[in-house]
Every structure is written in structure tokens, then in C-alpha cells.
Structure 1
Amino acid sequence: MKPYLNTRDYFYSQEEFTLVKDETTDMLITQPIPQNLEKYYQSESYISHSDKPKTLIDRIYLFVKNYSLKKKINLINRFVDKQGYLLDIGAGTGDFLLTAKQHNWRIDGVEPNQLARTNAKTKGIILKESMKDLSKNTYDIITLWHVLEHLPDLQEQITTINELLKTQGILIVAVPNYRSYDAKLYKEYWAAYDVPRHLWHFSKKSILQIFTPYGFDLLETKPMLFDSFYVSLLSEKYKTGKTNYLKAFINGCMSNIKGLRSKEYSSHIYILRKA
């Protein structure tokens, strides 16, 4: 594996990390991987666990998240005929599962972070700490919304996901795309690298390479158009130390426009079916 890029944890620790490229899978890997990853999530500013917006950027994040909830439900309903058993891995504070439950899905969720599980519980969503607490071959659909990049022991985790999903079940994976225009523009300042919380960094080829050996067929790839704006906003702040809404908006637009031709957007949703 060859060094691809040096970057740092701009969000929390300011520590430096190297991304190395696995040529076989076209995947970037964060090195070194810290022994205690949990501490990098402990900041009260980590909005996906706290649900407490402290900045305008946090409010934008929550607005987009809430806007996307119904769209996510509409997406899963396209690929599963009836509301069956749904598992959300990395469920955060439980908003997606709450929405799924309101649309008659029978739900389970996994979230390792204690603060996030506590916040989910206040909404009536009880989350399990680990996938080890789940029964095998139970779910009609499994979702990972910007979670796969966080999972340690990637191959072991995919094996477990495969065991939990029913035959012909649907797997939905949303991840950043390091081959996007905004990734190339911001380079080491690209916020979606988010080291060391993001351990793996995917391309379209990566997803095929890691899931095809498990018998998954790729049904569809969808862009996440809002991600380019949010990521550009954070990236501008990391690069310049200032929040430049106009420049971030322009670069987000450019990323989506470039994506129309290249089909390489800031983030993608992959819909896969287990054979």
C-alpha cells in the first residue's frame, strides 16, 4: 500500500494521520488507527451523537438530516414490498428509526456511543450497543447511513452484516466518495476524510470490491446532493479558519455540476441485494 495523502483531525485532536491506498480495492485506509477510538467521539460538538446544535453549521446539519428522513423512507420502500424488519447500524440518536417506526417498520438499531443511545431512549428508541446482541438472518433491510467508514475490523463487520440479512434482503450503504470534485479541490482539508473517526475511504470501485465477494449485487447508486455543500462548508473552515458560506455554496454547486458528467458525487447511496 502506498501513501496517498497526509491530513489531520481538524475537528478534535489536531493529530496528523496518513491515508494509504489499497490498489486492489481502490480504498484509502487511515493510519495509524488509534487504540482508543472512542475518545475521538467524546466532544460535545459531535452533533450526530449530541443532538445539541451549538453553531449555525450544526443547525444546517440537523435541518438537512430532518429533511432527508422521509426521503430515506421513500427509498427503502421502493426496494422492499412490505414493511418488514429493519436494522439501522450506527443509529445515532435514533431519528431515522423513529421515522421508520412511524411508517410501520419493525425496527432494531445498533449504536456503540452511550450518549447517542441515551438521547435515542428519550425518543422511545432502544438501541443495542453491538451487533453481537442481534439474532442472525433476521432482517429484510439493513441500513448504514454514513457509518461503514467508521466500523473497525471491516471484513468481520461485513461478514456479520451478511449473516444478519435475509436472502434477497436489501443493504443500503451511504458513504463519502474520495474521488469527488470537492475531495480533489480541498485535498487534505476535505472534511469527509474526518480522520481518525473515518477509518476507510471509499470509491465506487471500493464498494463493489468489498461487497461482491459476499454475494451482493449492486442495484442502484444515488448521489447525496446536499453533502457537497455541508462538506464544503466544513472544509472551508478547516482550510482557512473562517466560515465562508458563499464560497462553500459555490464549491458545493460545482461538485454537483461536475458530478453530472463524471457521476462522482461528494457522497453516494449504494443499494445492494443479497443473492
Structure 2
Amino acid sequence: MNKLTINVCPVCGCTHLERVMTCTDSYASGERFDLYRCTECGFVFTQDAPVEAEIGRYYETPDYISHSDTRKGAMNAIYHRVRQYMLGSKARLVMRYARCTGGRLLDIGTGTGYFAQAMDGRGWKVEAVEKNPQARAFAKEHFGLDVQPESALNEFAPGSFDVITLWHVMEHLEHLNETWVRLGELLTPNGALVVAVPNCSSTDAKRYGADWAAYDVPRHLWHFTPATIRRLAEKHGFVMAGCHPMPFDAFYVSMLTEKQKGNSNSFLKGMAVGFSAWLSAWGSKERSSSMIYVFRKKQG
């Protein structure tokens, strides 16, 4: 297996890196992967993950819901119910920051196409990109969406989109800095970049440590905090226009963590931890299990 070995922090360029914990792939392989942290900026990443060309097999499980759309089990049933509510919430947030009720939107890593379909139904001109062919086929069959493969990102003209969204996608992308450069090229000068990622400084992440399901090694390469994603954005000429907690994620991630730990009554235990984490985020939204960040290009 060819590995992605990181010797320089992709956020600040520091070479002083330290191992902080070892996590287990609970979905596909049972393999263990180390997480490292930059001692300068605090950015956390998965060390020695499979390279992009070889990581596909770690997604090949019916339990990987963003690609398979499985409804098997209580966890996934809850996921689907919450997703229906969140689709409306996401759409309203996008239109608020876009400052319009229609425009050109690019959804990167669209999965099975639910958000792209929701925005299309609201009158937006939507382009959607997804690496996984089975997920693209699902989007075509169920929503009539012509989802493009990842290579399409190189074909769009500069300034093509008023809004670009990445819902729990940024943490998967091997070419992190190159991606941010391309996003800057594709976005209009006054456009909005919307990025949702897990927050490894959240209350539930600290509670569970290496067992936290949202580390999701090796599929998640990058583990952001509000401070590190802001620094990465500023590096590429973006400023943060807003940040919003994803209140339901603490419940889902906690239940999934309890299930992966093999605990009995994982549903109830996860609900209890999720509720505690949710309450904690009321006092400080930056403790939320996942965050939505909205960025704009720096002006002048």
C-alpha cells in the first residue's frame, strides 16, 4: 500500500509534528492509523493513510451511508430523518449568505445527491461533483441529476459559481491546498464558500478521545478545529463570514461511537452523551461536534 506520509504541516508549513493518538477503522478494515498534530498551529491529520488512488476500498461497505444511502439499522434511520430537516436548514443558510434566492451553485462531494436536488428544486442552477460511481448512479436514478466525476472540477471556467458547498467533504480530500486554490478560482468575487466539517475540539471529541467516530480513519485525512480551518482559509485569501453549529451531529456521532465500541444500549448511551455535548455547545458554539463555516474572498 502506498501511503500519504506528511512531513510538513499543510496549514502553516511547520515541520515539528507529534503523534497524539491511534485510531481504528471501525467501518471497513479494522486497521489502526496514527493521528499527528502540528506543534505550531495545532492542525491534526491522519498519518500514513492510503493515497487517493488506493483508498477506494476503505469506502466499499454498505454501512458508508453518504455513498450507499443505506437505511439499515436505527443509526441510519435516524440519519435519514435528521437529514430531511437539515436539507431545509442548509438551503436557507446558503440563500442567506448568497444574498439571493437563485444563482449558480457547485456541490462538491454530493454523495447520493440530496442537497443538490434540494437546491435544484428551489430554482438554483446546480452542478454536482462526486467521486463514487455508485453514488452518482443513485443520484441519476432517484433525482435525475447528472452528477459529474471529480475530474469535472478542472473543466469549469473561472468565476463560474456564486456558491460552492462541501458538506463533510473537505476532511476527505488528499490535495488540501490545491483544492483551496481551485475553489478560489471557481468562486465569483462576491461568492460564498460553505464548508461543513467535524470539529475535533468539540465536547464529544474530547469525551471519546481516540474512539470518537468522526475521526473516521483513514477516510478522514484532516481533523479541523475552528482555529485551524480559519488559518487555512486565510492562507488562501478567504475570510470567515460566519460559523454555525450542526446541533444534531453530537447525537449521531455519539450513538455511532457507542455502537462501534460494542456497548450495550448504545442508542441510549449515545443520546445521553450527545445531549450533554449539545448543552455544552449552547455555551460556546465552537464546542459543537460539527461546524458549518462560510467564507468569502478577501476584497482589495
Partner of 1:108: 127
Number of residue equivalences:
275
Partner of 1:154: 176
* Partners of 1:91 and 1:110 in 2: CA distance: 6
Q: Secondary structure at the match of 2:174?
A: coil
* Partners of 1:243 and 1:216 in 2: CA distance: 44
Query: What's the RMSD between the two structures over aligned residues?
Result: 1.2
What pairs up with 1:73-112 in 2 under 5 angstroms? 73-82=91-100, 83-112=102-131
Partner of 2:57: 39
Q: Secondary structure at the match of 1:117?
A: helix
The reply to whether residue 124 of structure 1 matches residue 157 of structure 2 is no
Using CA pairs under 8 Å that are at least 6 residues apart, name the structure with larger relative contact order, 1 or 2: 1
What pairs up with 1:112-261 in 2 under 5 angstroms? 112-122=131-141, 123-130=143-150, 131-261=153-283
AA aligned to 2:240 is L
* Preserved contact between residue 233 and residue 243 of structure 1 (Cα < 8 Å): no
* Preserved contact between residue 90 and residue 111 of structure 1 (Cα < 8 Å): yes
Q: Secondary structure at the match of 2:248?
A: helix
Identity of aligned residues (%): 40
* Preserved contact between residue 86 and residue 142 of structure 1 (Cα < 8 Å): yes
Q: Secondary structure at the match of 1:26?
A: coil
Q: Deviations over 1:116-140 (max 9, x none)?
A: 0000111111111112232222000
What pairs up with 1:253-272 in 2 under 5 angstroms? 253-263=275-285, 264-272=287-295
* Preserved contact between residue 110 and residue 129 of structure 1 (Cα < 8 Å): yes
Q: Secondary structure at the match of 1:179?
A: coil
- Structure 2's unaligned 5+ residue stretches are 1-16
What TM-score, normalized by structure 1, do the two folds share?
Answer: 0.97
Partner of 1:273: 296
The reply to whether residue 71 of structure 1 matches residue 94 of structure 2 is no
- Structure 1's unaligned 5+ residue stretches are none
